[in-house]
Structure 1
Amino acid sequence: MARTGSAAGPTLAVIAREAGVSVPTASKVLNGRADVAPDTRRRVTEVLERLGYVRRPRAGAPKPRPAMVDLVVRSPDSPRAGAVLHGVMEAAHEAGLDVVVSVADGPGGPGGRRTGPGWPEKLAARGSAGVLFHLPGLSPGQYAWLDGHRVPYVLIDPARRPPPGTPSVGADDHRGGSVATGHLLALGHRRIAVLAGRPGTPRGDARLAGHREALAAAGIAPRPEYVRHGDSGRGCARRRTLALLGLPEPPTALFACSDVMALGAYEALAARGLRVPADVSVIGFGDLPEAGWASPALTTVRRPLSEMAATALRLLARMMCGERPENPRTELFTRLVPRHSTAPVATRPLRAVRAAGAAGGPAAGGLAAGRGDGTAGDTGPVPRAPAVAQ
């Protein structure tokens, strides 16, 4: 049973002696002062817990402030970070917690040097009770620091696979990939290409696996040339879409594994004189604000970022009370958001067409619907997009 700092239990002097520090230093740790070295704070905290010291509030003393948690993000300006912050703040208000937002260490200033303290130093100085991370992942050293300081933490939608047992909250990307492809199949599309992320990323691999599962359920054999891997930027998606359009049998629909990729596909299709969705249907993934602003508005799969962030905060609050999650990975449902970028497959599917046009710019005519005999139109040659590795 925990004891109070009285005659029946250890005094502050006993705590200080056991931790090898002065009584004023032990008092600073007990009162959450920031001017204590991280290692000293950890040593004193361990003695406090081992000896069961519980501070008894003085009569008439003000109520203690709510516990503080940190939210560490890579960039506070992105739409994703905004959605995460919204979810965290709502859940924190319900739980009676304060939230401090920190920006993760970047490349630093000139010469690669960091221009100020990073989140571990800030976390130790503030004495935060827990931390949420909305980052692609952490380094082994950062995981070791958190575990060594016994700081409860939860990852929000990590892009890289964390160590086994690491608490995280994400979305069911596998189901999302299956839903996206199933939507295109229901519209009659059979030539469905995928703009996928880099191989080996958990989210991208799950979406691609869901796509293949939907094809298999429909009895459609996957076509390797219809899967193009790359980074998630618009430029990469544009180049890979141009390569797909240069195939002898171009796809009639594109499943982009992110909304940003889908917008890059829009650019490539426009450059070839093709219309979305009359000529090629496009579906994205994520439901970023840009998806609704695009023309035509992008059909996509919604990943509930705000709900993920709120769920992570509630999980962290339980961990701060000593609870350990039975399953470290929590996944929330994704859902289809139909808009105007998908439509039934055209009665005359696209064929590779030769058309006049300056290399690198919009080709006159680009691709067109092939004639019933399967021959191409007669508008002249189109410069083929550079070959892209699968």
Structure 2
Amino acid sequence: MESTKAQRPTLNDVAQHAGVSIATASKALNGRSDVAASTRARIEVAIEATGYGAGRPRGAAAAPTIEFLVDKLTSPYAMEILRGVTLAAEDAGIDVVVGRFRPSPHKSDQEVIRRLNRSGRVGAIILTVDMSEATHQAISRSALPIVLIDPLRMDGSSVASVGSTNWIGGRSATEHLIGLGHRNIAIIGGPAESLSARARVDGFRSAADAAGIAVPDDFISHTGFDHDAAERIAHELLSRDDRPTAIVASSDAQAMGVLEAARQLDIRVPEHLSLVGYDDTYVASWANPPLTCVYQPLQDIGRVALRTVQQLSAGEHLDSHHIELATRLVVRESTAPPSDRNHS
């Protein structure tokens, strides 16, 4: 039974036979009007030649599907990237299935990759997941196009990935605070094993070094990108006699945790503490006060990842296996020059 499924013609077979993209083949099969008559004719010939239509009712062809996998779906960051993926997929006539990368502690990463290869998807997008070198190698050998978004680590293989200019983001956040007059600045980084987190901290260090600011080792921390972990660290930092006058957070969720710690300690933002978030998701403008943030083009990252899956599925050559989109600083009300009240 399993071998019969493996031999069943796929939409990718039709697209390759007709010399078109999977998205174009899907549009023709689903009766879309934006397909040229000559192209539609080639696709119909390809359907007959490959036997793709055998056993399927006329007009019942399924759209190609990609799988979007993430460890946690609770963050605004993940939701914004998923929004970009789904919007691009709608335009391309591709369906999106969402799941968790590790749905069970009993399944290895390699088993997940093997399942994807047997799934009949045209590709997969995996978001911010910590993987072993063996898993990266399994992805690089995979017959299924797989694109990583903001991978926690890379092993130098040819796995396609999409991210943003994290070093510049960390540096621009810190330069903004230095420009306001802050010299006592801390950063709450993401996980120590995360490439993006380390890049943001390296950008922070670079800006501090360029300004001649010596940052105490315990003003630089690494933790999860979530609210609660950052709240605990911020509470410790803000309880010190030499507490920082400004903090750079490595996600909007972390920044919200810093705001909560400041509230508990009756430290007002930005009067007593300046705060910069990271990502600039919708929660940043909803915060009180609205957060100054490093903006990541999260929806565009999702769109680029979807297009990269399409390119790989069509057998196209990638100009680069790692794409970085530009960050920029968005200034709102959570940052201000330091004052004597910072240590009152």
TM bracket (short chain): 0.7 to 0.9
Work out which of the two has the higher radius of gyration on C-alpha atoms and give 1 or 2.
1
Task: Look up the equivalent residue of 1:237 and give its one-letter code.
Answer: A
Q: 1:149 to 1:332 in 2, by over 3 A?
A: closer
User: Quick check: 1:199–1:205 contact (8 Å CA) kept in 2?
Assistant: yes
Whether 2:255 is the aligned partner of 1:299: answer: no
Aligned-residue Cα RMSD (Å) equals 3.1
1:133-182: CA deviations, max 9, x gaps? 12413345544544444211110122233543221000111111111111
Whether 2:258 is the aligned partner of 1:265: answer: yes
Residue from 120, 130, 133 that aligns with 1:127: 120
For 1:228, the equivalent position in structure 2 comes to 221
For 1:179, the equivalent position in structure 2 comes to 172
Q: 1:248 to 1:95 in 2, by over 3 A?
A: same
For 1:18, the equivalent position in structure 2 comes to none
For 1:99, the equivalent position in structure 2 comes to 96
Aligned ranges 1:150-161 → 2 under 5 Å: 150-161=143-154
Stretches of structure 2 lacking an aligned partner (at least 5 in a row) = 12-44
Whether 2:20 is the aligned partner of 1:29: answer: no
Greater percentage in helix: 2
* Identity among equivalent pairs (%): 33
For 1:57, the equivalent position in structure 2 comes to 47
User: Quick check: 1:249–1:350 contact (8 Å CA) kept in 2?
Assistant: no
Aligned ranges 1:236-385 → 2 under 5 Å: 236-346=229-339, 348=340, 350-351=342-343, 368=344
For 1:211, the equivalent position in structure 2 comes to 204
CA distance in 2 between counterparts of 1:146 and 1:121 reads 9
1:180-199: CA deviations, max 9, x gaps? 11111121212111122343
User: Quick check: 1:72–1:119 contact (8 Å CA) kept in 2?
Assistant: no
User: Quick check: 2:117–2:143 contact (8 Å CA) kept in 1?
Assistant: no
Corresponding residue SS for 1:210: helix
Corresponding residue SS for 1:250: coil
Aligned ranges 1:157-172 → 2 under 5 Å: 157-172=150-165
User: Quick check: 2:139–2:159 contact (8 Å CA) kept in 1?
Assistant: no
Task: Look up the equivalent residue of 1:97 and give its one-letter code.
Answer: I
User: Quick check: 1:298–1:341 contact (8 Å CA) kept in 2?
Assistant: yes
Q: 1:191 to 1:318 in 2, by over 3 A?
A: same
1:365-386: CA deviations, max 9, x gaps? xxx1xxxxxxxxxxxxxxxxxx
TM-score relative to the length of structure 1: 0.68
Corresponding residue SS for 2:48: coil
User: Quick check: 1:102–1:119 contact (8 Å CA) kept in 2?
Assistant: no
1:97-136: CA deviations, max 9, x gaps? 3333333233x3xxx556xxx7546534442222111241
Whether 2:67 is the aligned partner of 1:70: answer: yes
CA distance in 1 between counterparts of 2:133 and 2:114 reads 17
Task: Look up the equivalent residue of 1:96 and give its one-letter code.
Answer: G
For 2:84, the equivalent position in structure 1 comes to 87
Corresponding residue SS for 1:58: helix
CA distance in 1 between counterparts of 2:139 and 2:188 reads 36
CA distance in 2 between counterparts of 1:243 and 1:76 reads 28
Stretch deviating more after TM superposition (228-237 or 258-267): 228-237
Flag the structure with more relative contact order, 1 or 2, with Cα contacts below 8 A and sequence separation at least 6.
2
Stretches of structure 1 lacking an aligned partner (at least 5 in a row) = 1-21, 34-54, 352-367, 369-390
Deviation at 1:340, TM superposition (A): 1.4
1:293-322: CA deviations, max 9, x gaps? 221122111222211110011111111121
